[in-house]
């Protein structure tokens, strides 16, 4: 199976290419196509993970459905046969990995929910006993469950740059107090429901990030949701605070890049076949565990 790294939909207007998704304008709506690109350390790598875009899309569709009672989402349809006729000649690039979605004015913040201490949160806690400026009790370890889930928004970093944590006050300044409060409420409500579902599947949802937009009907959930690209999922049976927890994500990729001492500057290197296969397997396992279904690539 060959990785799809770049889409080409002929005369369909291309609005941009993100780290993973290509975005097109289609008859007043948007078309999101998840490629098999993979990024690490804020750079897109030369090698993709075959089928990764399909896994991400199908997992997002599962979550959009499960969480629809919490907040509406941007999905119009993921059925290629229902896309405009102009897109049908490109079905080989679109099948299983694309979504026709509503246009929305996107909020300029990443809405992050943390239920456990990990990553940048753990680094900050070690020096300040806070996460994103929020005081926490002493004695917590790397991987500890937090007393309650935290809302820790961040900026949206451009390609090659990091997202930067910001305060709730900064969010209020950016979007207004009422919208800031609603984004916090929705983020924590979505996290709570998703974490409860993951728990029934033997997984811990350590943290995740959401993106929201506004349509004339109100605030909607957009982009992707609760995939290994945007979330930390841990195995519940082996969870043990006191160190880095194995995740259902691209950790094999990060470990390989560290092993070859890449300087984390462009151009990014490619990946050997075994790292590609193990990473693909981890994404497929996450899909199977979370949805109860298998996915044929």
CATH number at residue 122: 3.30.470.20
Q: Do residue 75 and residue 188 come from a single domain?
A: no
Count of domains observed in the chain:
2
| Residue at 96 is within a domain | yes
Side-chain-side CA neighbours of residue 143 (13 Å):
15
Residue 282 within a domain? no
CA distances from residue 63 to 81, 84, 201, 224 in whole angstroms, order as listed? 22, 25, 14, 9
Question: Is the C-alpha dihedral spanning 92, 10, 3, 99 positive or negative?
Answer: negative
Q: Which domain holds residue 183?
A: 106-238
User: pTM surpassing 0.85?
Assistant: yes
Q: Is residue 288 part of a domain?
A: no
Task: Convert the pLDDT of each residue in 82-116 to its tens digit.
Answer: 999 999 999 999 999 999 999 999 999 999 999 99
Residues 226 and 121 in one domain: yes
Last-in-domain residue among 47, 80, 103: 103
* Within a domain: 249: no
Residue-wise pLDDT for 266-282, tens only, equals 999 999 999 999 999 99
Tens digit of each residue's pLDDT (9 = 90 or more) over 188-232: 999 999 999 999 999 999 999 999 999 999 999 999 999 999 999
């Amino acid at each position: 199976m060959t990785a799809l790294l770049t889409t080409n939909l002929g005369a369909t207007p291309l609005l941009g290419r993100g780290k993973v998704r290509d975005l097109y304008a289609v008859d007043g709506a948007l078309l999101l196509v998840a490629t098999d690109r993979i990024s690490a350390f804020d750079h897109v790598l030369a090698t993709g993970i075959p089928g990764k875009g399909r896994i991400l899309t199908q997992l997002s569709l599962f979550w959009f459905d499960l969480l629809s009672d919490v907040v509406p989402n941007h999905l119009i349809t993921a059925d290629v046969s229902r896309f405009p006729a102009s897109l049908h000649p490109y079905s080989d690039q679109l099948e299983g990995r694309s979504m026709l979605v509503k246009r929305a004015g996107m909020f300029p913040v990443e809405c992050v929910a943390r239920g456990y201490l990990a990553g940048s949160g753990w680094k900050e806690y070690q020096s300040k006993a806070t996460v994103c400026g929020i005081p926490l009790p002493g004695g917590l370890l790397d991987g500890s469950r937090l007393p309650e889930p935290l809302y820790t928004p961040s900026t949206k970093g451009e390609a090659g740059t990091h997202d930067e944590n910001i305060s709730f006050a900064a969010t209020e300044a950016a979007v207004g107090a009422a919208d800031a409060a609603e984004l916090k409420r929705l983020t924590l409500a979505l996290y709570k429901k998703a974490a409860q579902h993951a728990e029934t599947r033997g997984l811990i949802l350590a943290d995740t990030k959401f993106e929201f937009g506004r349509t004339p009907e109100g605030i909607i959930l957009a982009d992707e949701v609760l995939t290994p690209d945007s979330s930390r999922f841990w195995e519940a049976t082996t969870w043990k605070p006191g160190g880095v927890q194995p995740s259902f994500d691209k950790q094999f990729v990060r470990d390989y890049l560290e092993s070859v001492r890449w300087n984390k500057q462009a151009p990014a290197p490619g990946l050997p076949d075994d790292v590609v296969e193990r990473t693909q397997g981890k994404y497929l396992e996450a899909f199977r565990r979370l949805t109860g279904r298998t996915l044929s690539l």
